[in-house]
Amino acid sequence: MHFHGPRNRPPPGSSVMVGGVSIGVESTLKYLGLVLDGRWNFVEHFRRLAPKLERIGAALRRLLPNLGGPNASCRRLYAGIVRSMALYGAPVWARGLARLAVHHLNAPQRVIAVKMVRGYRTISREAASLLAGLPPWNLEAIVLARLHEWRAEAQCRGETPLPRQVVAQRTDFRHDLMATWRQRLSQPRAGHATIAAIRPLFEEWLERRHGILTFRLTQVLTGHGVFGRFLHRIGREETPGCSHCEDGPEDTVEHTVEVCPAWAEHRRVLVAAIGGGDLSRPALVEAMVRSETEWDAVTTFCEAVMLAKEVAEREKERAAVFLPGRRGRRPGRRGLRRGPRPP
């Protein structure tokens, strides 16, 4: 018999004999696809699962380009497949996750959410998940655990829940999930502007039946795109100023959408379509969820303006390829067609 502390592993080569068979003593046990550990925190399970999910995420990056590629329904299907893999055995581990295990679970969800919204990979998990309508997987695991426990209790009483009862119970649990998710979004770690724009219309955004997110619409909603502030932050521009204005004010989403004179005509058409002069991000989101027509108007504006900004950025890159102090990309054939790609 070996005694060892919680921070120490069993002595190397330790084993027990069962029926004449030597079985090595390990700190974990794999059973029915779950890696169990002595502390029941499932860190090791997700540490082993994370590389598999990351490989799938890397494959999806190639399958789901930001421009073109599969439509929103197909992207949601891929997301559902990865979600099923991540949440396998959720009723067992949902209530005992350590912080490190949650981190391993969040990483692949961020990759999937970013590909669903066709965004730059610099977008935070919280913002991308909200845009995509994907609740945190650790919260979804709790829903699965609660539903399993409810069914088990019913069976212990000798009852067999009807399908409609199961659906109703699942709906109640998901309502609790959404309330918890919304509460978490009140203090986000990143993506503050995007979350602040959508959170007041949380239910309307998630329950809408119209509208898809395009690469350029997502740029405007997140601020991660061809904006001077963002390009300066990632080292692609020397200054955050707007190259379309003479005095070079900081180029942000608000400046591009509301102020920059280069897009005055596009702005006039957008204001006429959504019936108001407020073009802040919260106002745009409110118009988008109000009707499909207004969603399309905002999308058309973003496509036209951001495409023009991409063309201008490509021209600057051509002129500055060999200039010091600016990390411009060499304009290859693919870049000439599609413009700046996410870093």
Which burial class, exposed, middle or buried, applies to 105 when counting CB atoms under 10 A from its CB (0-12, 13-18, 19+)? Answer: buried
Residues 173 and 289 in one domain: no
Please work out, in degrees rounded to the nearest 5, the angle formed at the alpha carbon of residue 140 by the alpha carbons of 186 and 97: 90
- Provide the domain count of the chain: 2
Taking alpha carbons only, the member of 137, 140, 146, 116 closest to residue 128 is: 116
What's the pTM?
A: 0.85
pLDDT in tens, 87-134: 999 999 998 888 888 988 898 999 999 999 999 999 999 999 999 999
Domain check: are 316 and 286 in the same one?
yes
Element (H, E) at 183: helix 163-184
Per the model's pLDDT, the better-predicted residue between 11 and 238 turns out to be 238
Rg (CA), the chain: 25
Q: Which of 199, 231, 249 is the last residue of a domain?
A: 199
267 and 332 share a domain? yes
- 119 CA to centre of own chain: 9
| Pairwise pLDDT comparison (177 vs 47), residue with the higher score | 177
The helix/strand/coil state of 17 is strand
Residue 71 contacts residue 64 (beta carbons within 8 Å)? no
Q: How confident is the model at residue 319 (pLDDT cuts 50, 70, 90)?
A: confident
Of 28, 29, 22, 24, the closest CA to residue 14 belongs to 24
Same domain, 193 and 213: no
pLDDT tens sequence across 41-97: 888 898 899 888 888 888 887 888 888 888 889 899 999 999 999 999 999 999 888
Domain boundary among 199, 223, 244: 199
User: Do 216 and 137 lie in a common domain?
Assistant: no
Name the residue range of residue 299's domain.
Answer: 208-338
Q: Flag whether 227 is in a domain.
A: yes
pLDDT band at residue 343, thresholds of 50, 70 and 90?
Answer: very low
Which two tokens mark 12? 């190397």
% of the chain exceeding 70 in pLDDT: 87
